[in-house]
Amino acid sequence: MATAGLTGEVPAARAWSVAALLLAVADALAARLGAVTVRGELSGFTRAASGHCYFALKDSEGQTALLRCAMFRRAATLLDFRPADGQQVEIRGRITVYESRGELQCVVEAMSRLGEGTLYELFLRLRARLQAAGLFDTSRKRPLPAWPRALGVVTSLGAAALHDVLSAVARRAPQLRVVIYPCSVQGADAPAQIVRAIERAGERAEVDTLIVCRGGGSLEDLWAFNDEAVVRAVAASRLPVVCGVGHETDVTLAELAADLRAPTPTAAAELATPNRADALARLQALAQALRRAASRRLDQQAQRLDRLALQIGRPARLLDQQSARLASLQSRQRAALAQALERRRRRLDDLARRLLVAQQMQRLRHAERLDRAALRLAAADPHQVLARGYAWLADGAGRPVTRSAGLAPGTELTAQWTDGRAAVQVLSVTPGLAEPPAAAKPPRSARRRPKP
């Protein structure tokens, strides 16, 4: 092998195998960090049948950081609480590398609860606000149609929940037509699409009941159904809404606002559809009852016909009796019509006389009101006031001057009399009410108001 000192060549770098490299990284992490204590928010928590727990820990300060964690059964049996998505926890464990996927993970040895996570806190605050607004009141919830003509489903075309709903409908009510209003059920665009799908179903009015559903997931996965716009759209839907989101333990605000909450999408389909077997059994029972009632009715009518046949006797005599009775009724009818016409004629004459008298009285009242109004109008005429010796004062802008406040010596005003106007200038201003000169006072008889 040539040496660098003789040839100047650099020795080739060592080639790692993937497993060896991951093992070396794991050893370096263990040597560098050892046991660590981390705080964060639980996300995607699952407990396998083996008892091992797998979850992710999100940064509790809002950073987009995520740490995969595994908690084996021995450590999980020591937990004194039930972990759930959105909880704030503190974990102690070792940072290592999961060789099968080459992922960084923390093997958790202990976990303690600190409080609810920020997303769950947001859920609680939003629920309290919408509940105060009355969106969850039981009084506003509507019953579902017992026999719907068609069923609407708001969900994703690729969701397993859609297959569950269609399977349940095919099993319980295969005659029922299903209309799908596709939308995204997860992600940033999901709330707007869900709202539009619900509104589109109401506008088209082609179904009687609407199912809003999706499968299970973490709190983040189901968050679109906690969006305020989606909750308000469910509450304002023109159609009765059954909401089944996630599993039985999952609760979303859209389910609380719906007319009926279902624990799963399959349960939502079962609640919204009648059972075909029960309906057929009921129809069969009704058919039997109808046949019995028809048979009983036929027997009764047959007996009635027998009694009537015995009562008829001789048809000619019965016909004569009915002819005489008909003639009597016709005579009484003609007399009654003549009497009724005479009463109506007398009443019309009386009403005509009363109408003429009422019209004359009304005309007299209107004439008196017009005379009184003319007198009041003449008394309120400003020219009449000016004719009695008063004058109208206005400033340069044409606004009336009704008070001495705001006037100053030298202010130019305009005085209007009944026969003309003049430009005047204020020489002095004396506050308070001044008595007019004795020569300017009108006689007592002139100050009396004229009688109308």
| Residue 203 shares a structural domain with residue 111 | no
**Domain final residue, candidates 116, 146, 168:** 116
Residue 355 maps to a domain: yes
Phi, psi dihedrals of residue 352, rounded to the nearest 5°: -65, -45
| Residue 219 shares a structural domain with residue 170 | yes
Q: What is the per-residue pLDDT for 235?
A: 93
For the chain, what is the mean pLDDT? 84
Q: Please report, rounded to a whole number, the percentage of residues in the chain having pLDDT higher than 70.
A: 90
Number of structural domains the chain divides into: 3
Indicate the helix (H) or strand (E) that contains 178: strand 177-182
Residue 200 maps to a domain: yes
| Residue 142 shares a structural domain with residue 98 | no
| Residue 191 shares a structural domain with residue 242 | yes
Residue 4 — very low, low, confident or very high, per pLDDT cuts 50/70/90? very low
| Residue 54 shares a structural domain with residue 25 | yes
Query: Average pLDDT for residues 49-71, to the nearest whole number?
Result: 87
Residue 11 maps to a domain: no
**Domain final residue, candidates 244, 274, 304:** 274
| Residue 84 shares a structural domain with residue 151 | no
Q: What is the per-residue pLDDT for 255?
A: 92
Residue 444 — very low, low, confident or very high, per pLDDT cuts 50/70/90? very low
- Residue 214's domain spans which residues? 137-274
Distance CA 193, CA 196 (A): 5
10-45: pLDDT as tens digits: 455 678 888 888 888 888 887 788 889 998 888 889
Residue 357 maps to a domain: yes
Burial code of 241-253, b = ≥16 C-beta within 10 A, e = fewer? bbbbbbeeebbbb
Residue 210 — very low, low, confident or very high, per pLDDT cuts 50/70/90? very high
- The tokens for 166 are 């269609």
* pLDDT greater at residue 83 or residue 438: 83
Residue keyed to tokens 């009983």 = 296
Residue 423 — very low, low, confident or very high, per pLDDT cuts 50/70/90? confident
105-155: pLDDT as tens digits: 999 999 988 755 567 778 888 899 999 999 999 898 999 998 899 999 999
Residue of 181, 164, 194, 146 lying closest to 268 (CA atoms): 164
Whether pLDDT at 6 is above 80: no
pTM over 0.75: no
| Residue 145 shares a structural domain with residue 242 | yes
Q: What is the per-residue pLDDT for 437?
A: 54
Sign of CA dihedral 41, 43, 49, 52: negative
Residue 283 maps to a domain: no
Q: What is the per-residue pLDDT for 1?
A: 38
Tell me the HSE value of 442 on the side-chain side, using a 13 A CA sphere. 10
Low-confidence winner among 110-124, 271-285, 288-302, 332-346 (lowest mean pLDDT): 110-124
| Residue 267 shares a structural domain with residue 331 | no
| Residue 332 shares a structural domain with residue 229 | no
Residue of 39, 37, 36, 35 lying closest to 89 (CA atoms): 39
Q: What is the per-residue pLDDT for 450?
A: 46
| Residue 163 shares a structural domain with residue 220 | yes
Low-confidence winner among 85-89, 174-178, 312-316 (lowest mean pLDDT): 312-316
Query: Average pLDDT for residues 224-239, to the nearest whole number?
Result: 93
| Residue 160 shares a structural domain with residue 78 | no
User: CATH code at 89?
Assistant: 2.40.50.140
| Residue 227 shares a structural domain with residue 321 | no
Residue 86 maps to a domain: yes
Residue 130 maps to a domain: no
Whether pLDDT at 8 is above 90: no
User: CATH code at 246?
Assistant: 3.40.50.2300
**Domain final residue, candidates 400, 423, 440:** 400
